[in-house]
Amino acid sequence: MASTDDDNIDKTTTMMQPTTLDGLLAEGGVRCFAGGLEVEVRRAWIVAGEDRLAYTAIVRLVECCREWHWQSDILPHAGGAALDSITKSFTAEFTHPIALGSLLRITHQVIDARPRSYRLRFELTTLQPEQLCARLEMVSVFYDPAREAVAEPPAAVVDYLRSSIVPPQPADDTP
C-alpha cells in the first residue's frame, strides 16, 4: 500500500492523550454511570491510517474506567484512609474491532475480593450494534503509599467489594 503524506505526519501529539479519567472528562462527551463509562470513539484516539482503536487505546480507556471505579466505589468506603492500589496482573481478550464513531460502553464488575486484593472484569461493548468487543481482567493489590507496602484496606472497603461480586457467568460454548 502506498503511503500518503498524511500518513507520514507525526500525530503523536494529538493521539489519545488522556490516560487519566480527569483528562478524558476534560475532552467532554463522556457519560459516567454506576458501573462504568460511555464514550464515543474519536478520531484522535486512532492511529493514523487506521479506522479502529488499537489495543493501547483500549487499555487507556479501561484505566479511565478503573479510576472511575476507584473514585465512585472504593474511596467512599475508605473512611479517609491513605489507600492506593497496584496492578498484580492484567489479561485481555479482544474479540471484535472498535470502529471510529462507535458509541462504547465500558463496564467494570468485581469478580473476586480478598483481604488485600480484588479482581475486576472490564467489558467493552459497542451499543449500535450491541456487540462485546473486549474483555479485560485486572487484579489490584491494596497499597499503603506512606509505608510503601501492600496493605489491608479498611474493613468497609472489603465488605463493599465482597457484596459487589458478580457471580461467574457460564462459558459460551457455542461454535
pLDDT for position 35: 97
Rounded-to-integer distance, Cα 36 and Cα 105, Å: 7
Q: Per DSSP, what are the bridge partners of residue 103?
A: 40
Per the listing, cell 478520531 goes with 43
pLDDT for position 167: 78
Rounded-to-integer distance, Cα 45 and Cα 51, Å: 10
Q: What is the mean pLDDT of residues 20-45?
A: 94
pLDDT for position 170: 61
pLDDT at residue 90 tops 70: yes
pLDDT digits (tens, 9 = 90+) for 3-30: 334 443 444 445 566 579 999 999 888 9
Domain boundaries, the chain: 17-163
pLDDT for position 166: 86
Percentage with pLDDT > 90 across the chain: 75
Q: What is the mean pLDDT of residues 115-122?
A: 97
Q: What is the mean pLDDT of residues 107-121?
A: 97
Supply the pTM of this predicted model.
0.85
Residue type, 127: L
pLDDT for position 11: 45
pLDDT at residue 33 tops 70: yes
CA 104 to the chain's CA centroid: 12
Longest dimension (CA), the chain: 60
Three-state DSSP class for residue 108: strand
Rounded-to-integer distance, Cα 104 and Cα 43, Å: 14
If you write DSSP's letter for every residue of 85-112 in order, what string do you get? EEEEEEEEEE-S--BTT-EEEEEEEEEE
Three-state DSSP class for residue 39: strand
CATH 2.30.40.10 assigned to 17-163: no
